[in-house]
Structure 1
Amino acid sequence: MDAPNGSAPAGSGRNGNGVQRASQSARSLLFTVLGEYLRDPGATLWTAGAVTALGRLGVEERAARQALTRTARDGWVVAERHGRRTLWRLTSRAVEHFAESAESVYGARRHPTGWDGDWVALVTSVPESHRDLRHRLRTRLRWAGFGPLGQGVWISPRVDSEKAARQVLAELGLTASAVSVVGRIGGLGSEYEVVNRAWDLGGLARDYAAFVAEFADLRGRDQREPAAVFTGLTLMVHRWREFVLRDPALPAELLPARWPGHGARELFYRRHDAEHPVARAWLAGLG
């Protein structure tokens, strides 16, 4: 099962540190907390701690408890009873999932240089009636760096993406209905036209700029309460997960000049490196 993706803010307010809040899915925020703080071996979280942490992110207690219950029912976390209290830890499947996704979320994901001009095109067909399968295919191909060029046609300038696509198709049972082609753009169209058809770089650039404007306030760790550090960092990671899915990490040769994603990436890693230990310690101390 695919983990829920981060959602764009549906409403806003502000916490005491100026970080924009949003009425976002409680379960999606819970997945961000699990992936950010519980993927280390032996990490656990009490129910009361989860409720407090999600409350800092704008989630009401009832919604937080329901998110925990749903997540456990779907096999992502397992409960340990300690009298009247419950301790949660990731299941082995969840540990594997977060380990696989960690490189995409926390890895460098630098835009490669020295592109040789080759593309990999993938042609596949899924019946309209299989909506869930179509959604899973779209999500996972985007995660692998592909963009939709037309009905059933996906393309990526990273030829090594073909390996990831083969794995996705095999796991979804679609290998027999797919064809891949590696080569260069011919005499019709141009590389930049392909990029603009497959990806909304304009919208992505605007959202990167908004990300920087929202999270650029980096103060010293000792100048903020640990709870506020947790809130700001977790909301930042939650927003960053959206870019992991949307940004195809195109070669530098295909990006517009002064691409704002570079600055957003630098900001993310600078804040994450500085604030993660503080936020993790605060969460671990919740009873």
Structure 2
Amino acid sequence: MSAGNGADERVTERVENILAQTPLKAAGFIVTIYGDVVEPRGGVVWIGNLIETCAAVGISETLVRTAVSRLVAAGQLLGEREGRRSYYRLSRAAGSEFASAARIIFGGVPEESWQLVHLTGAEAEERMQALERAGYARLDPRLAIGPARQAPASADALILRADSPDPKALAAFVEAYWNLAPHAAAYHTFLDQFGPVLRLAGKRPLAPATALTMRLLLIHRFRTVLLHDPRLPAAALPPDWPGIEARRLFAALYRHLSPSADDHVGRSFISGSGPLSAVTEETEKRLSHLETQVA
């Protein structure tokens, strides 16, 4: 990654520090590129753009091609050719998953209702593990409680809405059944990694390629932390919950980096039908959602 001025050089050093602390996997970073850059611009891109973008964070062409092949085998990407160039499109299922993740990342609207789920029928343990991955707490082998954002897909479940008018009782309940310490630590790491970037980038505009690399790292790390967080209702969280500050930092830095980053996308990224747009209705919508979260 080239450094055009002092701010770029210091941000480049920050990129290297972030990568040393939290190394990237090729497939995961490619998923981030699609979610941030490609999905809101039609869902298809030339593999050369993936290779170039991954090279900026130390991922080799060989690793990119291997990861893309695995994503194709997993049904997330579909390959197509135009002349001598290969392009990869999001599958319909992957596009739906990416859109759902984007609503969580950019929407920032916390879930304020709760539900109890009692699993019936066979394979209760497998379904319980899926609920735990979605942020629920296991109360017994068939009973779980969590935010009401996701109901079990199976009909073999009894769902009961839950509420508590006493914030102290709710906080005590959460303390008893959720271990929030790892999530708080992950948010603190995010703040330590990207807080200095906002201060550096605010002094002078970054080169477009540098801005895109940093924005991809920003959303990659924030997505990882946020989607592992059970994202409990605000009333249930400690008053000093670092997720609040982390979301504000993400919103401010993403908005700050986007003009230069999107300029690089418009100048460099292509699909089989031509250049990707620098700005689309969907990218504008994302920035609009984030604007309300900065204050």
TM-score, with length taken from structure 2: 0.73
Answer yes or no: is the 8 Å Cα contact 2:27–2:68 preserved in 1: yes
* Secondary structure in structure 2 of the residue aligned to 1:24: coil
Q: Percent identity?
A: 26
Letter in 2 for 1:175: A
Is 1:90 the counterpart of 2:90? The answer is yes
| Counterpart residue number, 1:213 | 192
Q: Which aligned runs of 4 or more in structure 1 are off by greater than 4 angstroms?
A: 133-137
Letter in 2 for 1:47: I
In 1, distance between residues paired with 2:92 and 2:163?
Answer: 42
In 2, distance between residues paired with 1:15 and 1:26?
Answer: 21
In 1, distance between residues paired with 2:12 and 2:52?
Answer: 16
Answer yes or no: is the 8 Å Cα contact 1:147–1:154 preserved in 2: yes
Measured after TM superposition, the shift of residue 184 of structure 1 is: 5.3
| Counterpart residue number, 1:255 | 237
In 1, distance between residues paired with 2:219 and 2:102?
Answer: 12
Alignment of 1:1-287 (within 5 A): 16-19=12-15, 20-21=18-19, 22-110=22-110, 112=112, 119-124=114-119, 127=123, 136-139=130-133, 141-142=134-135, 146-156=136-146, 158=147, 160-161=148-149, 164-165=150-151, 169-170=152-153, 174-176=154-156, 178-183=157-162, 190-216=169-195, 217-218=197-198, 219-220=201-202, 222-284=204-266, 285-286=268-269
* Secondary structure in structure 2 of the residue aligned to 1:40: helix
Answer yes or no: is the 8 Å Cα contact 1:119–1:183 preserved in 2: yes
Q: 1:221 to 1:49 in 2, by over 3 A?
A: farther
| Counterpart residue number, 1:3 | none
* Secondary structure in structure 2 of the residue aligned to 1:182: strand
Measured after TM superposition, the shift of residue 67 of structure 1 is: 1.0
Letter in 2 for 1:205: A
Q: Aligned residues, how many? A: 249
Answer yes or no: is the 8 Å Cα contact 2:110–2:232 preserved in 1: no
Answer yes or no: is the 8 Å Cα contact 1:77–1:89 preserved in 2: yes
* Secondary structure in structure 2 of the residue aligned to 1:274: helix
Measured after TM superposition, the shift of residue 34 of structure 1 is: 0.6
| Counterpart residue number, 2:279 | none
Task: Name whichever of 262-271 and 224-233 sits farther off.
Answer: 224-233
